[in-house]
Structure 1
Amino acid sequence: MTKPSEEVETMDDATPEEGKPKGIKPAKLTAIIVAVVVVALAGIGGGYAYWTHHESSGYHAAVEQAENADKALMKAIEQATATTYKADQLKEPKLLDKLNEQVKKAESLKGIPDDNPSEWLAWQLASARKANATDADEADAQAKALNAALKAVRDSKLAKELDTAKDQLKQGIDGASQTLRDTDGKVADNATRDSLAKAIDEANDTLSKKGVTDPKTYTDAKAKLDAAVKQVTDSKAAKEQADAEAAAQAQAQAQAAQAQAAAAQSQSSYSQSYNRYGGSYNRGYSSNRGYSAPQQSYTPSSNGGASSGGSSLADLIGAASGSNGGPNTCGSTCGLIER
């Protein structure tokens, strides 16, 4: 017989493997749980690390963008305030108010946020990134608005300068044309008037140009026109001076001739007075204050008339008394002697 113990052992040994209960041993289960936890933690840690890295990169990029935007805005403010504009310099004075308004807005911006987020705190990095991005957008927008306002003011100033220069050229042409008309035949050198006529034509050509954007185009034409006008006026003045000098010289010559004629006439009058009263032709009182009759001769003519000749006073007396005792035939001469 078989022993009971032996019988039991035989039965256990005879039980097939498929009949034994199945399951996981505790040691293996613990290892699996640990492995799952490690994997989970590793996944969470890797995702957080990726998020942190992403936000950190975005934050630093936003800071750089904000810095550049703020620099551009500061430059725009400097340009807008570097030049002092006046309302009367602009074609549209109201644009100056808009520029000043944009300057005030630009100066009121806070600039880059003063924050120092931790590199390991993703949510701080994300918040700081957004703040810097907002600052960059605001600075960019304000810089564009300020530059636009500044450009409008500059364009208005340029338009006013163009209008002013163009009007001055018009006035210059009118004045130059009047000078050309007024100086016909009144200049020392007529070539100056020819140059002025040419300058007027060129100025009119400049005035009719389209799309002029530089006032210098008009001011240069005006300067050239003014120079041509000055040449004509200088030539006119030179002729007037030469004419005045010639007139003065002619007047001086006429006065000299008159003075010479007056001197000659005075000398002639003096000579006549001298010959009459103090010269060799003595009529009147003699040097002995006695009276002497003029020495005249009388010679009877053959026909009984009298003729002047070399008859002496004795002859006249004889003739008056009648040398042959005859009648007195002296006529009027005897009367003169008797008187």
Structure 2
Amino acid sequence: MTKPSEEVETMDDATPEESKPKGIKPAKLTAVIVAAVVVALAGIDGGYAYWTHHEGNAYHEAVTKAETADAALTKAVGKAKDAASQYKADQLKEPKLLDKLNEQVKKAESLKGIPDDNPSEWLAWRLASARKANATDADEANAQVKALNAALKAVRDSKLAKELDTAKSQLRQGIDGAGKTFKDTDGKVADNATRDSLKKAIDEANNTLSKKDVTDPKTYTDAKAKLDAAVRQVTDSKAAKEQADAEAAAQAQAQAQEAAQAQAAQAAAQPQRSYSQSYNRYGGSGSGYSSNRGYSAPRQSYTAPQQSYSGGSSAPASDPHYGALGGGAGDFHDCSKVACSILGN
């Protein structure tokens, strides 16, 4: 028996070259396998390097976006806090909106923010995980900024709505009061032009009140201020007329009092007169007024009887005791006893 090796050798030696099977020789096959392994290893190493490079870039981009979003959120939280501290519930048309704003502030402050990690640049799976965490943070921060801004806008809009309602209501009340003033001051003002201006201001205020697109309370407050100014002009003119009328009445009263006092003084200055009948000492009689003697009885003259005297002497004519008829000594009489008492001398 030939040994297998011998048979092979015998066959290799005996078999012609053209009849042997064709294929890769063992030496060449080994070289191909080695080359394929080398190529495979090189391909795997290059793909991982590309992966790590890609994840590294994506991670850094996500970090930048997260930082930007967190900064915006911090700013939004600050604005919301300021508004929450400045606004009061009674300033809002819907007071509960202020509570919602405070809730959004608390929610924003509860967010974790950017993850605190620093993955290795050669650990692709760590880079990928960190990228996702930063992307999630950025999305949450951006969403919370929108929620805060919406809540803040709702509060501001509610405050504006309340201001609009208040200003509009005040203008309506002003129009009512101005109309009453216009009606009550007819014929009672010093200058009627002020009432004309008030009527014009009332018409303009009504036009403003009827507008549908008013978004600024100042539109109403300006109309109210103009209306109030017109009302003040009318009331001032009314007060001026009342003062002028009062001064004229006082002056007329003073003049009347002065006239009455003058008449009283004139009446008091006239003497009290009484009727009296006077007597003329020379024998005449008449009637008249006397301010101090009153009524006087008529005087009577007396003629003493003529007497004659002896001796033929006569009294001088200038003697008061000489008789009324004159004459001689016989005509002399004693005046002190009879005639003088009658004559009142």
Bin for the TM-score computed over the shorter chain: 0.7 to 0.9
What are the within-5 Å matches in structure 2 for residues 274-313 of structure 1? Answer: 297=284
Aligned to 2:242: 240
Percent identity between the aligned chains?
77
Distance change in 2, residues 1:264/1:117 (3 Å) = same
Comparing 14-23 and 24-33, the one that deviates more? 14-23
The amino acid across from 2:164 in the alignment is L
C-alpha deviation, 1:45, in angstroms = 1.2
1:72 CA drift (Å): 1.8
Change (3 A) 1:99 1:13: closer
Q: CA RMSD in A?
A: 3.2
With the length of structure 1 as denominator, give the TM-score of the two structures. Answer: 0.74
The equivalent residue for 1:124 is 126
Q: Mark the CA change 1:180 to 1:13 in structure 2 (over 3 Å): closer, same or farther.
A: closer
Instruction: Find the aligned partners of 2:179 and 2:238 in 1 and give their Cα distance.
Output: 15
Alpha-carbon shift at residue 159 of structure 1 (Å): 1.0
Aligned to 1:152: 154
The answer to whether 1:54 aligns with 2:54 is yes
CA contact (8 A) 1:172 1:226 kept: yes
Moved more, 184-193 or 235-244: 235-244
Name the aligned partner's letter for residue 65 of structure 1: K
Aligned position for 2:82: 82
Q: Which residue in the other structure is 1:36 paired with?
A: 36
Give the deviation of 1:263 after TM superposition: 2.4
State the shift of 1:20 in Å. Answer: 6.8
Higher mean Cα deviation, 29-38 or 234-243? Answer: 29-38
| Structure 1: unaligned runs, 5 residues or longer | 1-11, 284-291, 300-311, 324-336
In 2, Cα distance between equivalents of 1:213 and 1:53: 55
| Distance in 2 of aligned mates of 1:176 and 1:106 | 51
Question: What is the rounded CA distance, in whole Å, between the counterparts of 1:70 and 1:147 in structure 2?
Answer: 14
Residue pairs, 1:207-222, within 5 angstroms: 207-222=209-224
Q: After superposition, give the CA deviation of every residue in 1:183-216 in whole Å (9 maximum; x if it has no partner).
A: 1111111000000000001101111111211111
TM-score by length of 2: 0.73
Q: For each residue in 1:224-252, what CA deviation from the matched residue of structure 2 results, as whole angstroms up to 9, or x when unmatched? A: 10010011011111111111222222222
- Which of 91, 94, 97 is the equivalent residue of 1:92? 94
Partner amino acid, structure 1, of 2:64: E
* Higher percent of residues as helix: 1
Q: Specify every segment of 5 or more residues in structure 2 that has no aligned partner in the other structure, as ranges.
A: 1-11, 287-298, 305-324, 326-341
1:23-64 Cα distance to aligned partner (Å, 9 max, x none): 766764554344222211211111101111111111111111
TM-superposed CA distance for 1:254, in Å, is: 1.9
State the shift of 1:295 in Å: 5.8
* Paired AA for residue 72 in structure 2: A
Report the number of matched residues.
Answer: 282
Shift, 1:268, TM fit: 2.1
| 2:180 equivalent in structure 1 | 178
Tell me the CA shift for residue 119 of structure 1: 1.3
